[in-house]
Amino acid sequence: MGLFSSRPKTVFPWTQLTSEEQLITAFEESNDKPALFFKHSTRCSISSMALSRFEQNAESLSEICDLYFLDLLEFRQLSNKLEEISNVMHQSPQVIVVKNKEVIYTETHSSIDAKEIERQLR
């Protein structure tokens, strides 16, 4: 391996959140499988760091919950709707986990902990 060689990056199994209908459906389907929403600002280095750390530690979360990625710059209105239906004030970066239509976990910035989410869901 050379100095600039690196391991190929694994594609994380996100579902892009792009519509209000999709958001409402995710809440409804949380009765069957929990839903995790990651709110990310693509222009923020802190948000990028939190996302990278999350993805490195969340390899098995897709087995136990549906993973939704919300690009805040492109879909800010969905963030507002998520705030409305979850009653969780908007922050970025932010993770909101919903089970049985109820928020069971929410954290922001460096407090986002994939291992803790997994522990709570198992």
Percentage of the chain lying above the pLDDT 90 cut: 89
- Average pLDDT of the chain is 92
Residue listed under structure tokens 């190929």: 8
Class of domain 15-121: alpha beta
SS3 of 10-72: CCCCCEECCCHHHHHHHHHHCCCCCEEEEEECCCCHHHHHHHHHHHHHCCCHHHHCEEEEEEC
pLDDT for residue 77: 95
pLDDT for residue 11: 79
Domain parsing of the chain, residue ranges:
15-121
pLDDT for residue 9: 55
Higher pLDDT, 65 or 4: 65
Q: What is the mean pLDDT of residues 11-16?
A: 92
Percentage of the chain lying above the pLDDT 70 cut: 92
* Predicted confidence (pLDDT) per residue in 49-84, tens digit: 999 999 999 989 999 999 999 999 999 999 999 999
Whole-structure pTM value? 0.90
